[in-house]
Structure 1
Amino acid sequence: MLAILYKEISGFFSSLVAYITIAAFLIVTGLFLFVFPESSILDYGYAGLDSFFNIAPYIFMFLIPAITMRSLAEERKDGTFELLATRPITEWDIVIGKFLASVAIVLLTLIPTLIYYFSVYQLGVIKGNVDTGAVIGSYIGLLLLGSAFVSLGLFASSLGKNQVIAFTIAVFLCFFFFSGFDSISQILSFQSVSSYLMAIGINQHYQSISRGVLDTRDLVYFLSFSAVFLLFTKTILGGRKW
């Protein structure tokens, strides 16, 4: 599993696509945070990173599928998955290794955004007048959200050999599980059903953690969500192997 983890990370950063993807994420979030007047923190009147944490999930819907689309689809297209299947490793080793590698890449992508926090920290009328607890909670929520999207991306990548199709399916799944259930709940008039549907979706749990409150229910949700789709991925790989 560690060999697969190292292989995935080194393979990702050995291509120009990796740096373009990360640079695009930083540029887009920077524009929303400091340039565009509708979301610029310079026009807020208070120190906060709300606009960054509100826009980041939607950028993740495209960034993470771009990271995961080649993980399994390329292995099957190039015939290297059959080589992996003959090695003394299990499907779980393959899935968990690729999952952890993609999550590590997401984490490495988020680390440079800490400059946004230090900028807000310094720009406040009162230096340091920023809710650090909420920022930490939002970063944890964003990492958990990224992990959930990675599990969806790996699942989409396991369905076929075409990376473009894997990317498209992953984007759809990420959008549906993040916003789809909220949209459906707004259509329904039954409050109990609407609340249940919103609880199934990712957005409600992400917003809860972003407030700086680490509820065990939200943590269990994200861990269970990722585990379920990793199980689906492992099942598909097992079927392909046989």
Structure 2
Amino acid sequence: MYTILKKEISGFLSSMVAYVTIIFFLVITGLFLWVFPDSSILDYGYAGLDSLFYIAPYVFMFLIPAITMRSFAEEKKEGTFELLSTSPITDWQIILGKFGAGLLLVVFALIPTIVYYYSVYELGATPGNLDSGAVTGSYIGLLLLGAAFTAIGIFSSSITNNQIVAFIIAVFLCFIAFNGFESISSIASLGTLSSALINLGINAHYQSVSRGVLDTRDLIYFLSFAAVFLAATKTVLSARKW
């Protein structure tokens, strides 16, 4: 697993993929946080990172699929997956190695945003008047969200040898998982089923964690969600050996 993780990270860093995606994430979130009038802290007059944690999931919908689209699709296209699958490592080691590499890049993208936190921390009328508990919860929520989206991206890349197709499938699945259930519940008259349907989506659990309280139900949800897509990836890889 560590060998695959190291190989994937080296592959990301030797290309422009990692740098472009991380810069893209920081530019977009920075614009929403400091420039755009409807969300800018400077115009809003309130020292908080709400804009960052609102826009970040939508940026992740494109950033993470861009990172993960090459995971298996490129290996299949170049014919190196057969060599990888016959090496003395298990499918799970391959999957977890690629998953870990993708998630690690998400962490790399989030680390520079600590500068935003420090800036907002000092910008308040009373420096330090910032709900650090909620901010910490929101960062944990983004990491859990990143894990869920990375699992989706790995799965999408495993079912095709075309990176663009893998990217499109992953973006679609990420959007459905994050907003789809909530949207369906709002347009359909489902009565008591509406709340249950909303809880199937990621957004409800992300919002819950972002309030600064880490409920074990939310943690179990995210871990289970990622596990389902990683298990689906294992099934796809196993099917190629039949």
Letter of the 2:215 partner, please give it. D
**1:140-151 alignment, distance < 5 Å:** 140-151=140-151
Hey, what's the Cα distance between the residues in 1 that align with 2:138 and 2:17?
Answer: 27
Hey, what's the Cα distance between the residues in 2 that align with 1:20 and 1:241?
Answer: 35
Figure out how many residues of one structure are paired with residues of the other and give that number. Answer: 242
SS of residue in 1 equivalent to 2:69: helix
Hey, what's the Cα distance between the residues in 1 that align with 2:206 and 2:85?
Answer: 36
Spell out, residue by residue over 1:113-154, the C-alpha distance to the aligned partner (whole angstroms, 9 max, x if none): 110000001111101110000000000000000100000001
SS of residue in 2 equivalent to 1:129: coil
Task: Give 1:195 deviation, angstroms.
Answer: 0.5
SS of residue in 2 equivalent to 1:39: coil
Q: RMSD in angstroms over aligned alpha carbons?
A: 0.8
Residue ranges of structure 2 left out of the alignment (5+ in a row) = none
**1:5-20 alignment, distance < 5 Å:** 5-20=5-20
SS of residue in 2 equivalent to 1:70: coil
Hey, what's the Cα distance between the residues in 2 that align with 1:150 and 1:70?
Answer: 12
8 A Cα contact 2:69 2:166, kept in partner: yes
Q: Which residue is 2:55 aligned to?
A: 55
Hey, what's the Cα distance between the residues in 1 that align with 2:153 and 2:191?
Answer: 32
Task: Give 1:187 deviation, angstroms.
Answer: 1.4
Structure 1 residue 32 corresponds to structure 2 residue 17 = no
Structure 1 residue 215 corresponds to structure 2 residue 224 = no
Spell out, residue by residue over 1:16-60, the C-alpha distance to the aligned partner (whole angstroms, 9 max, x if none): 222111111101100000000000111222211001000000000
Q: Which residue is 2:22 aligned to?
A: 22
Task: Give 1:191 deviation, angstroms.
Answer: 2.9
8 A Cα contact 2:76 2:161, kept in partner: yes
Residue ranges of structure 1 left out of the alignment (5+ in a row) = none
SS of residue in 2 equivalent to 1:37: coil
Q: Which residue is 2:45 aligned to?
A: 45
Hey, what's the Cα distance between the residues in 2 that align with 1:64 and 1:29?
Answer: 15
Letter of the 2:94 partner, please give it. I
SS of residue in 1 equivalent to 2:220: helix
* Superposition TM-score, scaled by structure 2 size: 0.98
8 A Cα contact 1:82 1:241, kept in partner: no
Letter of the 2:176 partner, please give it. F
* Superposition TM-score, scaled by structure 1 size: 0.98
Q: Percent same amino acid among aligned pairs?
A: 68
Q: Which residue is 1:101 aligned to?
A: 101
Task: Give 1:241 deviation, angstroms.
Answer: 2.5
**1:123-202 alignment, distance < 5 Å:** 123-202=123-202
8 A Cα contact 1:185 1:194, kept in partner: yes
Task: Give 1:188 deviation, angstroms.
Answer: 2.1
Q: Which residue is 2:117 aligned to?
A: 117
SS of residue in 2 equivalent to 1:31: helix
Letter of the 1:62 partner, please give it. F
Spell out, residue by residue over 1:41-80, the C-alpha distance to the aligned partner (whole angstroms, 9 max, x if none): 1122221100100000000000000000000000111111
Task: Give 1:226 deviation, angstroms.
Answer: 0.1
